[in-house]
Structure 1
Amino acid sequence: MARLIQMARRAYLSSSLPSSPKTLISRLQQSPLQIEKPFHNSLNQVFQTRNYITEMRKSAFEGNILRILRTEIQYESEYAPSKEPVTEFNSFTVEDRPGEQWVRLRRKCGDKEEIKIEVTMFDGSIPVPKSGDDAQGEDMKLHISLIVDVSKVEGCDVLEFICSAWPDCLEIQKVFLLKRDGMPAAPYTGPGFKDLSDDLQDSLQEFLEARGVTDELAVFLHEYMMNKDKTEFIRWMGTVKSFIEK
C-alpha cells in the first residue's frame, strides 16, 4: 500500500512541474508578474497642481504690476501733463533725443564759428535753505552738466567749456582745447576755472555770453529738463508695461 501511495505522488509531481528549466522560463514569459506602478499618477497630479499654483501667483504679481503702472501713467499724463518739447531757444536749435539723457543745442555764430552744446538731464543736487522769512528746512537745488564746444571752421581744434547749469545761473568749471587730430593719453587741460585770475574768468564768461551761453540759457534748460524728465518717466513706464504684457 505504501508503495502505491509513493508511486501516485511521483506521478502527480511529474505532471505538475515543468519538464525542464526552459519550460519554466516559457511559462513565466507567458504569465509575467503584475507589478503595480509606484504612484506615478498621484505624483503627476501633485506636480501639475504646483505648476498651476506657481502660474497663478506669477499672473497675480504681473497683474498687480500692470495695474500700478496703468494708474501711474494715467496720473502722470493727466496731472500736469508734459508739454511738446520746444525746438528752438533764442538762436539755438534744440535737438531732443527721446529715450536718452542728453539734449543737443546748435547755433552758428558769424560765418565761420559754430556752437554745439551737449546737455544732460538732472545729474545732481545740493541742499539749500528754504526761502522766505518763516521757511524752515531745506530745498534741493538741481544740477545740469553742459559741454560747450566752440569751433572756428570744420576740422579745426575745438575750445571746450565744461559748465554747470543751476536753476538761475550758469558756471564754468573747466576750459581746454580739444584737438581734432587726437588727444594725448593724459593731456594737460589747464587749471580749474576758479583758479584763474578774476580778469581771465570774467573774459571767458563774456566770451560765452556773447555766443548765447548765459544765465538765461540755464533757466531755460531747467524748465526743459523738468518737462523731459516727466516725458521720459512716462515713456519708461510704458516700455515696462509693454514687456510684462507680452
Structure 2
Amino acid sequence: MASLIRTGFRRTCICSSSQIGTLRSKNALSSISRLGNTTFASQPQPLTKSPFHSNMLRILRNEIVYQYEYAPPHQPEAEFKSFTVEERRGEQVVTIKGKFGECEDIKIEATMFDGCEHVPACDDFSSGVNVRLHLSLIVDISKGEGGSELEFVCSAWPDCLNVEKVYMLRRGCMPARPYIGPNFRDLNAKVQEKFYDYLDARGVNDELADFLHKYMMNKDRIELLRWMGSLKSFVER
C-alpha cells in the first residue's frame, strides 16, 4: 500500500520562457533544370495562414504577455533553512533533501496543488468564500543505506502541516502485504503529539508548509508559461 501511495505522487516537458519567440525562417531552396533552351526555377511558396490559425496565435501571444505582466514568476528558491530544493522542471513534484544529525537523511517529495477547501472570508470586500489550497507530502527519514525508513504521508495547508499516515519501511525486503499500522488519527493523542515534535525537530512543520505553498504558487506560474510557450511554438510551425 505504501508503494501505491508513493507511485501516486511520482507523476510536461515544457520549453523555457526564453524560447517564446518567432519561428525560425526556413532557407529557400531553388532548383534549376534546363530543357533545351528553356530554364525553369522553382521558388519557395509562402506559407499561408488561415484566419483561424492567425487568430489563435494572436490570442496565445496576448495571453502570454498578460500572464507575464499580471503575475511574473521569479527564480525558484534553491534552499529553505537546512533543506536543499531540487526543482524538477516540467513535473508536478518537487524534491527537498536535508540531514538531521550525522546519520539521518530526510527526503521530502511535495506535489503541486492537488485539492482545495472553501472557507468563510474574513473581510467585507470579498464574495464571502475563500479557497485554501492543498498539497501532499511524503516525508522519508532513513538511517544509512538499505536500512529502515520512517515514512510520513502529510497534508500541507497554507498555515499548517497535518500527518495522515505513518509507515515503517525496510527497503528491499518488504513482505507482499505488510502491516502498515493504524490510521494516524486513531493513535493516542500523546503519541500523535510526539510524532509532531519528532518532525518539528527536523524542520518538517508549519513553516515548511508555508514555504512550499509559496514555492508551488510560483512553480505553477512557471509551468503555465512554459506550457503556453510550447503550445505557441507548435502552432507556429
Q: Which of 165, 168, 191 is 1:174 aligned to?
A: 165
Indicate the residue corresponding to 1:197 in structure 2.
188
RMSD: 1.7
Distance 2:134 2:147 in 1: 31
Q: Does the alignment pair 1:163 with 2:149?
A: no
3-state SS of 1:73 partner:
helix
Indicate the residue corresponding to 1:92 in structure 2.
83
Distance 2:55 2:179 in 1: 55
Q: Does the alignment pair 1:75 with 2:66?
A: yes
Task: List structure 1 runs of 4+ shifted beyond 4 angstroms.
Answer: 133-136
Indicate the residue corresponding to 2:97 in structure 1.
106
TM-fit CA distance, 1:63: 1.8
**AA partner of residue 238 (structure 1):** G
TM-score by length of 1: 0.74
TM-score by length of 2: 0.77
Could you list the per-position Cα deviations for residues 167-191 of structure 1 after superposition, in whole angstroms to 9, with x for gaps in the alignment?
Answer: 0000000001122014333322111
3-state SS of 1:97 partner:
coil
Instruction: Quickly say closer, same or farther: Cα 1:75–1:133, change in 2 above 3 A.
Output: closer
Q: Are the equivalent residues in 2 in contact too, given 1:142–1:166 (CA < 8 A)?
A: yes
Distance 2:145 2:69 in 1: 46
Structure 1 vs Structure 2: percent identity of aligned residues? Answer: 57
Structure holding more strand per residue: 2
Could you list the per-position Cα deviations for residues 75-96 of structure 1 after superposition, in whole angstroms to 9, with x for gaps in the alignment?
Answer: 1112220010010000000011
TM-fit CA distance, 1:132: 3.1
TM-fit CA distance, 1:135: 5.8
Distance 1:122 1:243 in 2: 27
| Runs of at least 5 residues in structure 2 that lack an aligned partner in the other structure | 1-46
Q: Which of 208, 211, 214 is 1:220 aligned to?
A: 211
Instruction: Quickly say closer, same or farther: Cα 1:61–1:179, change in 2 above 3 A.
Output: farther
Q: Which of 131, 148, 151 is 1:140 aligned to?
A: 131
Q: Which of 96, 103, 108 is 1:117 aligned to?
A: 108
Q: Are the equivalent residues in 1 in contact too, given 2:138–2:152 (CA < 8 A)?
A: yes
Q: Which of 53, 57, 60 is 1:66 aligned to?
A: 57
The size of the alignment, in residue pairs, is 191
Distance 1:100 1:62 in 2: 29
Distance 2:209 2:152 in 1: 14
Q: Structure with the greater relative contact order (CA < 8 A, sep ≥ 6): 1 or 2?
A: 2
| Runs of at least 5 residues in structure 1 that lack an aligned partner in the other structure | 1-54
Could you list the per-position Cα deviations for residues 147-180 of structure 1 after superposition, in whole angstroms to 9, with x for gaps in the alignment?
Answer: 0000011111211000010000000000011220
Distance 1:211 1:241 in 2: 44
TM-fit CA distance, 1:131: 1.2
3-state SS of 1:163 partner:
strand
Instruction: Quickly say closer, same or farther: Cα 1:83–1:184, change in 2 above 3 A.
Output: same
Q: Are the equivalent residues in 2 in contact too, given 1:129–1:136 (CA < 8 A)?
A: no
3-state SS of 1:86 partner:
coil
**AA partner of residue 92 (structure 1):** F
TM-fit CA distance, 1:139: 1.1
